[in-house]
Amino acid sequence: MAHYPHPIIAREGWLHIAIAFAIAFSVNIYAGWNWAIPFWIIACFVLQFFRDPPREVPTDRNAILAPADGRIVAVEKTLDPYLEREALKISVFMNVFNVHSNRSPVDGEVRNKWYFPGKFLNADLPKASLENERNALWITADNGADVTCVQVAGLIAKRIICHASSGDHLERGQRFGFIRFGSRVDVYLPLDTKINVNIGDKVSATVTVLAEFR
C-alpha cells in the first residue's frame, strides 16, 4: 500500500540526501577523491537511513503490527500516561541502521494527538518514554479498542515528524511519521491483549505481529 509516492526513500529525507550528495560531489570535484571519501561515506549513510521499503500487511484483522523496525526493549504492564489507564506497553528501540519510518499498528481513527518537548536521553533507557521529546497518538481501533502509539526522540534524534491528525483514519501499516536519527516507539494496549514478542526480539514495521486483540 502506498499513501504517498516514495516506495523506497522516505520523503522526509529527500532534502537531506540531496544536500549530502551535493557536498560529496562538490568536494570530489574541487578537492579530489581522497578528500571526498568521508563525505561519500556520510552521504551513503544518510541514504540508507531514509530508506523506506514497501511492506506486506498481514491479513489477520486482530493483529497489532510493529510500528517501527528495531528491537523490543520493554514488554510490561504499566500506566498509560496519555489515557490514564492500566495497559500493556511494548517498546521498540530503533538504532541508526534501522528503517525509521513509523507505521500504524492498527486500523482505526486518531482520536487525539499530543506533543511534549523534552530531553534527548538514550532512547534505550526506560525513562526516555516519559522524559524525552515525544509525540503520542490515541487511536481507537475499528473494533473499539484503544491504542496509544508514541514516537519518542532519542539521544541524537532532533526531529519527530507526525503526519496524522485528530479525525484521520489510519490503516494498518500506513506510514504516519518519521523520527530522524535514533529513537523508539511505545505502544500501549488493552490489558487483555495477547502479546507475541519478548524483550530482545528484532521486529520489522508492519511485517511483525506484536500482539493480537482477543
pTM for the complete prediction?
0.84
| pLDDT, tens only, 51-62 | 888 888 898 889
Predicted pLDDT of residue 182: 64
The answer, yes or no, to whether residue 129 has pLDDT greater than 90, is no
Predicted pLDDT of residue 136: 94
Closest CA to 100 of 170, 161, 34, 58: 161
Residues 46, 52, 57: CA angle, nearest 5 degrees: 160
Q: Which of helix, strand or coil describes residue 201?
A: coil
Read off the pLDDT of each residue in 201-214 and give the average, rounded to a whole number.
93
Read off the pLDDT of each residue in 137-164 and give the average, rounded to a whole number.
87
Read off the pLDDT of each residue in 168-188 and give the average, rounded to a whole number.
88
H-helix or E-strand containing 43? helix 33-49
| pLDDT, tens only, 9-54 | 777 778 888 999 999 999 999 988 889 999 999 999 888 888 888 8
Give the active site residues: 183
